[in-house]
Structure formats: C-alpha cells, structure tokens
C-alpha cells in the first residue's frame, strides 16, 4: 500500500488543516498494520494440515506399523507332576525367539527334543527335565539356553504311572496311578484289597529305584497307624515303578 500525500504543513493552513493531516496519517498506519497481520496469518498452517488428534491429545497413527505378537508361554516350571507315557508338554528355548512347540512323551517314555533327539522323560517333572535339557543344549549347540517346559495335556486314558504291590495283600500285582491324582502307600494297599490275616502292617516296605548306577532305597512305613489312628503324616506318596512289599507278621 502506497503512502498517501499529506496536505501542506504550512502553519498558514491553520489548526483544522493540521488535525485533518494527523487523522489521515493515523488511518494510513492502521491500514499498514492490518496488511502485515494478514500476511503473517496466511503463513500459519490451517488445522486441516495438522495430524488428527486422539481424545487423549496424541496424534492418531495413519497405519498400523507392526503386527501383534503372540504372548509368550508362561515361564512356570511344574515341580510336582511327573510325566508319563502319552503326556504332552510345551517346549521353548527363549534365545531362539520362536514360538513354543508341543512335544509328546513316547511309549518308550522319551521326548523328541529339537537339537538333541530322544531324551528320557518318564517319571520326571517339567522343572527337573528342563534343567537336564538346558545342560545338554549348552554342552552341544548353545552358549546359553533358557529352557521353558510346561505341561500341555495329561494323558487321561492311560496314566503310564504304575506301582507294584506284593506280599501279604489280597490282590498282588501292578496298579495304575490315576492321572493327576496323588497316590500313597496306604491307597495302594487299600486298592489291593487290604492286608491279609498274616500281614505285618507295621513294617510295610517301599522300595524306590535310584538314578542309574545308584542302589535302590527302602523305607519302612507303619501303615496300621495311618489306617487305624489317622496318622497321615506317616504315609508316603508313591512314584512310578515303586514297589510296595507287605511282609508276614512275626509271631
């Protein structure tokens, strides 16, 4: 905008003319300020050019940048349930960054573990077996192996857990331990029909096989106290392949 000429400032024009000149100058300056403000406003982006905001005030992404990753297997090791034929477990090595695999205990009581092949699993807990697999993997193919092993399904049709009851009971022979149930010496004897007339219920022997190369361990239990006096603290939970022997009473 061009500046407007001001009438002559000669004092001869008088005060009214001077006032008119000042008023014209004030209007001209106002127009210049308004024009400058308009140019600055045009340089500011309009709201349409800014990214949309979410209700919480953060920008809304225009596209999903990553796919959802499946949740990891809970790293909880069972140290009570012993594995049996037909059971299945979830196996994972954390360092592989791969999804977990389901492995089955074979009829021979083994797991086919990646990188290792067949590994004995019968009668072992997940925690115990995971520690053994970790050692073997670190001896062969891994610098460090964090092994995760958890029960997937227990075989409900056949437990694969068997104890043997012999001696002075009504029905001698092997017994299948019910899946998922804690089986004790007193339960096994009752399941065998109980003691015979000449049985020594105070000196029942529980024979348990030790690891390879170690002798078996024999524990003597007073089952009469358990059955007649309710002393359940004297009872012992059996493990697969335990042998329970009831001797003859000594007169």
How confident is the model over 102-161, as pLDDT tens digits?
998 887 788 999 988 899 888 788 889 999 999 999 998 899 989 988 888 877 665 557
- Residue 179 pLDDT > 90, yes or no? no
Dist. CA 192–CA 190, nearest whole Å: 5
pLDDT at 39: 59
Range picked from 51-60, 65-74, 134-143 for highest mean pLDDT: 134-143
Dist. CA 116–CA 6, nearest whole Å: 102
Q: Are 166 and 142 in contact (CB under 8 A)?
A: no
Dist. CA 110–CA 115, nearest whole Å: 15
Q: Are 113 and 119 in contact (CB under 8 A)?
A: yes
Burial of 129 (0-12, 13-18, 19+ CB in 10 A): buried
- Residue 85 pLDDT > 90, yes or no? no
User: Phi and psi of 25, rounded to 5°?
Assistant: -65, -40
Distance, C-alpha 149 to centroid of its chain? 10
Q: Are 168 and 193 in contact (CB under 8 A)?
A: no
Percentage of the chain modeled with pLDDT above 90: 27
Question: What pTM does this model have?
Answer: 0.43
Dist. CA 84–CA 124, nearest whole Å: 8
Dist. CA 245–CA 251, nearest whole Å: 19
């Amino acid at each position: 905008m061009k500046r407007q000429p001001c009438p002559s400032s000669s004092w001869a024009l008088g005060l009214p003319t001077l006032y008119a000149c000042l008023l014209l100058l004030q209007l001209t300056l106002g127009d210049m300020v308004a024009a400058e403000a308009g140019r600055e406003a045009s340089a500011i982006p309009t709201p349409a050019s800014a990214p949309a905001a979410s209700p919480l005030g953060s920008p809304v992404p225009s596209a999903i940048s990553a796919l959802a990753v499946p949740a990891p297997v809970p790293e909880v090791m069972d140290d009570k349930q012993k594995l049996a034929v037909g059971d299945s477990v979830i196996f994972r090595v954390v360092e592989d960054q791969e999804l977990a695999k389901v492995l089955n205990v074979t009829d021979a009581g083994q797991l086919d573990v990646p990188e290792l092949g067949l590994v004995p699993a019968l009668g072992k807990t997940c925690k115990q077996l995971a520690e053994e697999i970790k050692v073997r993997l670190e001896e062969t193919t891994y610098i460090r192996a964090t092994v995760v092993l958890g029960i997937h399904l227990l075989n409900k049709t056949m437990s694969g857990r068997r104890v043997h009851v012999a001696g002075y009971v009504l029905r001698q022979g092997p017994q299948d331990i019910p899946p998922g149930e804690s089986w004790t010496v007193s339960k096994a004897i009752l399941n065998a029909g109980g003691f015979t007339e000449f049985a020594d219920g105070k000196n029942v022997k529980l024979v348990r096989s030790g690891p390879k190369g170690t002798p078996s361990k024999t524990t003597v239990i007073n089952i009469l106290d358990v059955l007649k006096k309710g002393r359940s603290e004297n009872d012992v939970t059996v493990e697969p392949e335990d042998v329970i022997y009831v001797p003859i009473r000594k007169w």
